[in-house]
């Protein structure tokens, strides 16, 4: 009788041990599965974010959406420093892409010479420096009085209703300082008053 009880208790203990082991194994498996699901979700979110960033970069076409290290005022300062004079009158400034570089092309005069200089909009490196004799009086842009290119481009796109900015030129026409904004992608080119920001 004593042997039977011992054997009975032994079987019960063994069964209880197996049940506990099985329960422990299931909990471990569930935890692992939950962890895997979390990692997959995080990876999917990261992939979506990267894809969205790439799409945003592809959608950028116009210069109105780009930032350049060299501002309009910086470019004018480089122009004066290159020709070692701040007494040069600025006649016109054009901004566009040339051989993969975005450039400010500045023309000026001082009554004795005409000056021309191209300035890289990212590095401020200068190209095509020219100085020629010319005594003809020409137009003058007062840089301190005009709106900045970004404001002019925004006004042009609003007036156009669609498209993007390919290039712009700042000049004096009929005694009025204006931005000529070249719009591509469906919109019409616009002329913006460089003092008031109004579309003309």
**Is 110 in the same domain as 153?**
yes
Q: Do 30 and 82 belong together in one domain?
A: no
Q: How far apart are the first and last CA of the chain?
A: 113
pLDDT tens for each residue of 125-161:
999 999 999 867 679 999 999 999 999 999 999 999 9
- The residue range of the domain holding 74 is 64-193
Q: How many residues does the chain have?
A: 200
Residue 145 buriedness (CB in 10 A; 0-12 / 13-18 / 19+): exposed
Q: Is residue 52 part of a domain?
A: yes
Do 69 and 50 lie in one domain? The reply is: no
CATH number of the domain at 133, please.
3.10.450.40
Q: Is the pLDDT of residue 30 over 70?
A: no
Residues 54 and 134 in one domain: no
Residues 20 and 117 both lie in one domain:
no
By C-alpha distance, which of 165, 143, 159 is closest to 198?
A: 159
78 and 47 assigned to the same domain: no
Examine residue 147 and state whether it is found in any structural domain, yes or no: yes
Instruction: Indicate whether 55 and 92 sit together in one domain.
Output: no
Mean pLDDT of the chain: 80
Backbone φ, ψ for residue 124 (5° rounding) = 70, 10
Residue 3 has pLDDT above 80, yes or no: no
For residue 199, tell me if it sits in a domain: no
- Asked if residue 3 belongs to a domain, the reply is yes
73, part of any domain: yes
With respect to residue 128, please indicate whether it lies within any of the assigned structural domains: yes
Decide if pLDDT at 58 tops 80. no
Would residue 161 count as lying in a domain?
Answer: yes
Please indicate, yes or no, whether residues 55 and 125 belong to a single structural domain of this protein. Answer: no
Give the pLDDT score at 60: 59
Would you say residue 68 lies in a domain? Answer: yes
pLDDT score at 54:
40
| Dihedral over alpha carbons 20, 21, 23, 24 (to 10 degrees) | 110
- pLDDT at position 173 over 90: yes
Residue-wise pLDDT tens digits, 70-126:
999 999 999 999 999 999 999 999 999 988 999 999 999 998 999 999 999 999 999
User: CB atoms < 10 A from the CB of 84, how many?
Assistant: 7
| CB contact at 8 A, 81 and 108 | no
Q: Does 11 score more than 90 pLDDT?
A: no
Looking at the structure of the chain, the number of domains it has is 2
Same domain, 7 and 46: yes
pLDDT at 29 over 90: no
């Amino acid at each position: 009788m004593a042997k039977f009880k011992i054997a009975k208790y032994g079987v019960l203990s063994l069964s209880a041990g197996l049940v506990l082991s099985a329960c422990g194994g299931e909990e471990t498996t569930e935890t692992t599965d939950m962890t895997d699901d979390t990692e997959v979700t995080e990876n999917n979110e990261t992939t979506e974010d990267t894809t969205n960033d790439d799409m945003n970069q592809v959608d950028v076409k116009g210069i109105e959406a780009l930032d350049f290290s060299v501002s309009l005022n910086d470019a004018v300062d480089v122009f004066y420093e290159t020709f070692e004079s701040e007494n040069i009158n600025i006649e016109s400034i054009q901004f566009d892409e040339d051989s993969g570089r975005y450039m400010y092309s500045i023309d000026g005069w001082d009554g004795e010479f005409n000056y021309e200089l191209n300035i890289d909009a990212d590095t401020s490196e200068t190209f095509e420096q020219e100085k020629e004799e010319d005594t003809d009086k020409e137009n003058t842009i007062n840089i301190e009085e005009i709106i900045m290119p970004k404001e002019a481009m925004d006004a042009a796109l609003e007036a156009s209703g669609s498209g993007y900015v390919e290039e712009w030129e700042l000049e004096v026409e009929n005694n009025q300082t204006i931005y000529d904004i070249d719009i591509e992608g469906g919109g019409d080119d616009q002329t913006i008053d460089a003092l008031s920001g109004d579309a003309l």
